[in-house]
Structure formats: C-alpha cells, structure tokens
Amino acid sequence: MILEWTEAGERMIPFVLRYDPSDFDCFLAKLSELENGSQLDHLTVNSSTFWLVRSDRKVLGAVNIRHELNDFLLGRGGHIGYGIRPSERKKGYAAMLLSLALEQAKTLGIRNVLVTCDKDNIASAKTIISNGGVLESEVIIEGIQIQRYWIENEGCEQE
C-alpha cells in the first residue's frame, strides 16, 4: 500500500503511514504511543488509527482520528485524516472510511469534527461533503490552499 503512494509521488495521508513499517512491532508500538498519549511532544495529540481491510485481506486505506486539536491541526490536519491506496480509489471506499471514522469519533465524544483537504483534491472535498461536511474557510499554509470543513457529529455518545 505504501509503495503505491510512493510510486504515485503523493503525500501519504494519514501521516502515520509515513512511519517506517519495516519493523512492524515498532510501527505498532508507535501507533499505541499515539493512542495512549505516552511520549507525545508539544506538536502531537492523542490519536487512534484504523485500517480498512477488504475480505481478501487487502489493506485499502487507513484513517487517523485525533482526539483533540492543537494549533497545527486546527489549521491544516483536522480531527480526521484518511487515505485510500491509489489503485482502490473511485470505488466509494473513502466515503465509507470517513463514515466509519465519524462513528468512532462519536465514541470519543467529538461533537464537531474538523476535516481538511487541499483545495485541488476535489475527490476528497466531495467525500467530506457527502458525509455532512460544511465548508467553513479556506486558508493558505506553506503555499498550499487548504479547505476546512466542519461536520456536526450528531448523537455523540459522550457529552
């Protein structure tokens, strides 16, 4: 999956895909540290990572749910970062993955969910909108125009 992103010359999203997976135990330990909050620096927040895996065991994509926002995430990353491997796009998997992530965000008590995408990523914008995203603003960060969408996550399990 990661090789597909590299060969396509794309930035891997969610960011956790950029960690070196060659030592899978270390990779999983890093994800666990992010989830339980151990060894976080001032730029990192607690987050949970989930994988979208097809019945034939092919990993289709991943999603990272940030439990809270810091200044960086408020501008660019949002609560949820998701990605589908290039060969499996345009099949509805991104919308499914974001929908599942929103359900998981409910269990974390996240009532209003910020999801961002690059302005030129029209497919991602459509995915966000199809899951209830409302464009709040566009910002330019490091020369990249970012669209910021909020999704009202109705029926939160925690208040």
List the domain boundaries for the chain.
Answer: 2-108
- Whether domain 2-108 has CATH 3.40.630: yes
The DSSP symbol for 25 reads H
Q: Which residue has the higher pLDDT, 26 or 117?
A: 117
Judged against a pLDDT cut of 90, whether residue 33 lies above it is answered with no
Percent of the chain with pLDDT over 70: 79
pLDDT of res. 154: 78
pLDDT, mean over the chain: 86
Give one word for 44, left, alpha or beta, with left for phi > 0 and alpha for psi -120 to 50: beta
Q: Which two tokens stand for residue 149?
A: 């969408």
Residue 44 pLDDT level (bands cut at 50, 70, 90): confident
- Indicate the residue type of 89: R
Kind of pairing, strands 47-53 and 59-66? antiparallel
Q: What is the model's pLDDT at position 26?
A: 76
What ranges in 37-109 are assigned the alpha helix state H? 71-72, 93-107
Residue ranges of E strands in 35-86: 47-53, 59-66, 80-84
More confident residue, 86 or 3: 86
For the segment 97-123, the average pLDDT, to the nearest whole number, is 96
Amino acid letter, 28: L
User: What's the mean pLDDT in 58-81?
Assistant: 91
pTM summary value: 0.83
- 103 closest CA partner among 142, 151, 68: 151
Mean pLDDT computed over 111-120: 96
Tell which wins on pLDDT, 3 or 64: 64
In 3D space, the residue among 156, 158, 137, 157 whose CA is nearest the CA of residue 147 turns out to be 137
The whole-angstrom separation of Cα 4 and Cα 147 is: 25
pLDDT surpasses 50 at 159: no
